[in-house]
Structure 1
């Protein structure tokens, strides 16, 4: 009985030992694998991406300031025009009638001035005669007064001549008042002439506006009018043509997110692509950053104007452009993939950060970050680092020559970018042992 007990115990111990060995082997097979990348040295560009629209630098909307029927359209899409060139004409018949009517009004007003001048001259002549008559009446009255004093005539004669003097004076006063009225009539007639001449000039201007001309040298990129169409110029002149002044020098109006606009400066280099020419990049530079914001669905953007040369004429107004504006550039820097800054390795050892600056010393440049370096045994070690600019794929690594970790953070050093676990072969069910 005792022998059988010892045998059973030995079997149990053997099975336990075998199970422990199998478990240790399975754990050994569950290997942790690290994806790595090398620290590189090279150029690094920081850019802001945006979308925009290709537009002419200068485009002019040509409309009409008078209403009427379009008698002729002399240009079409893509027509080259010169400043002052006739491009359309509105039927001038109504406006010619208005000019002739206004001219007749001017002639009538000028004739009224002549009549007023003649009336004024007549009034002045009447005043002169009245003055003569008053002088004669006064002399006659003075003679009669003298004769009355000498007793040659009665007092009644002197009274009669005095009445004649008074009547002549009143007549003179009335005629002098008429002279003033005549002068006022002259001024009124002259003012009427000026008013009629102004109306005539306006009628001539309206007549000239029936001839629609190009204000600039350029190319017609839009036409919205046809022969026979009636246009009405009321509160706002209708747009008939759009003329681009110069398609060899164009611009892209790029919408910049408010988070990026602080990095955009005039003179920065930019490149862009359009769907019409896939794979081809066009170069330009920032010419203006407009301060007026655009708010669409609570998304605030600003317009950056990117100028470029279009000497070949390949790019056309209205094309959609995908713009890349270079806001910063480095020529020879250490850089690591951004994935190496995002990865986390639990349980990794820490090599420590660069030494802290002494009191009063300036802080280390850049922002803090962390990398995982592989040691000689292939185990990861966490390393605190300082980071510079990033292009969205790689980030500048700031390493001081005096740093104790400069050797580990050199070009070619491997950094962990990802972690994967190999769980080993699946467990199989072996034969059961019976007791």
Structure 2
């Protein structure tokens, strides 16, 4: 029996090796094939409650709500700077002093001019008193026909002359008083004080530097009121039409990305800016800054909220399939408890960039398919995690 099998095997020649390879391949295929679990071939996400937002994103700069360039109204050398960068000052605090020598001399001269005029006025008043007495005497004598009329008329003219001189001195005194007030004001200008409460944002001069305020007031320093900050956000022309005064928003700065600061649009500037051939409009808003977190020229990542649904059932936008019979109905693929994939019709509400609101057709905890996790797309089978904000 064995010899007969051996002779048959020898006669097969090359075909015996082909037969062995075919038998081995069939055995390997039968042993290696396993039942495929559909849930292991897709990426799924759990239906859960979250916020859905339709928003416009923009980048902006943080500025002080109010800044004042404090200038010098007096010319001269900067004698002293009383503040440093970053100092917080109150309205009326001394910021800097200009050498008051020239202004002080002008003030003293104006004051002495007034004193001289007042002395002249006293002299003129005494002369008027004498003239009035002489006029009275001449009138008495004229009544007794004891003096010529010419003397009476001369006495009357003398009184009028003294009165005119006193009026002239009074006018000169008023002019001198105006000059004194001006000199006093100019002397006060040598002491530069804070016009508002704020922080010293910049200093443009140094001690010992000479400033000239004859033609224009040179800037000494800049004060910024940083208790309230202004944010200017650059919004693309395609999005700006959807913004209006009162549109809610929130933003964060690069130094504190986890802190969301809320606000609302105060207005949109009518004149655009062109940046790299693209048109942008500045939307601005104001926010309080009690903790001093916000600083000048910080970069703000701004999110303008056009519509929002809070604490609603959500699914990833990628899970939404074909449109249904109604305008808000769509088909989604759902993994059931046995791991099988089923089609289900759902009603979609607000649709954001990442997640969409589910009004009906799903419940909290359901799993929806958002992608193929087979080797064809190079992704492992898993349950996906989705951001809760659109």
Q: Identify the TM-score tier after normalising by the shorter chain.
A: 0.5 to 0.7
Partner Cα distance (1:235, 1:250) in 2: 34
CA RMSD, Structure 1 to Structure 2 (Å):
4.0
Counterpart check, 1:261 vs 2:243: yes
- Against the structure 1 CA distance between its residues 119 and 340, is the aligned structure 2 distance closer, same or farther, given a 3 Å change threshold? farther
Cα displacement (A) at 1:238 = 2.2
How far the C-alpha of 1:93 sits from its partner, in A, is: 1.4
- Give the secondary-structure state (helix, strand or coil) at the position aligned to 2:108: helix
Residue in structure 2 matched with residue 208 of structure 1 by the alignment: 188
Equivalent residues of 1:231, 1:238 under 8 A apart: yes
* Aligned match of 1:394: 355
Alignment match of 1:44 (pick from 20, 42, 51) = 51
Q: Give me the whole-angstrom Cα distance separating, in 1, the residues matched to 2:245 and 2:42.
A: 34
* 1:280-332 Cα distance to aligned partner (Å, 9 max, x none): 32232327714654432453332112334435x6x532222212355654333
Distance, in Å, in 2 between the alignment partners of 1:410 and 1:82 is: 57
**2-structure distance, mates of 1:75, 1:398:** 61
- In the TM superposition, what whole-angstrom CA distance separates every residue of 1:31-79 from its partner, at most 9, and x where no partner exists? xxx9886683412142443322233455443221111121222433234
Contact 1:36 1:417 in 2 (8 A): yes
Note the C-alpha offset of 1:200: 1.2
What is the distance in 1 between the residues matched to 2:104 and 2:116? 19
The Cα shift of 1:82 comes to: 5.3
- The answer for unaligned runs of 5 or more in structure 2 is 1-40, 377-390
SS of 1:281 mapped into structure 2: strand
Cα deviation for residue 245 of structure 1 reads: 5.0
TM-score by length of 1: 0.61
Cα 1:373–1:284 change in 2 (3 A) is closer
Q: Distance in 1 between matches of 2:197 and 2:99?
A: 25
**CA offsets, 1:247-300, max 9 Å, x none?**
xx45351326333432744xx5623021xx3x7322323277146544324533
The answer to whether the aligner puts 1:280 opposite 2:257 as a matched pair is yes
For residue 310 of structure 1, what is the aligned residue in structure 2?
291
Match of 2:111 in 1: 103
Unaligned runs of 5+ in 1: 1-33, 141-163, 354-367, 400-405, 423-435
How far 1:132 moved relative to its partner? Answer: 2.0
Q: State the SS of the aligned residue for 2:159.
A: helix
Which residue is 2:219 aligned to?
239
Question: Quick check: 1:55–1:251 contact (8 Å CA) kept in 2?
Answer: yes
Tell me which residue corresponds to 2:83.
75
Q: Decide whether the 8 Å contact of 2:72 with 2:218 is kept in 1.
A: yes
SS in 2 for 1:226: coil
How far does residue 384 in structure 1 lie from its aligned partner after superposition? 8.9
TM-score (norm 2): 0.67
Aligned CA distance change for structure 1 residues 83 and 113 (closer, same or farther; 3 Å): same
Is the contact between residue 256 and residue 304 of structure 1 (CA under 8 Å) also seen in structure 2? no
SS where residue 138 of structure 2 aligns?
Answer: helix
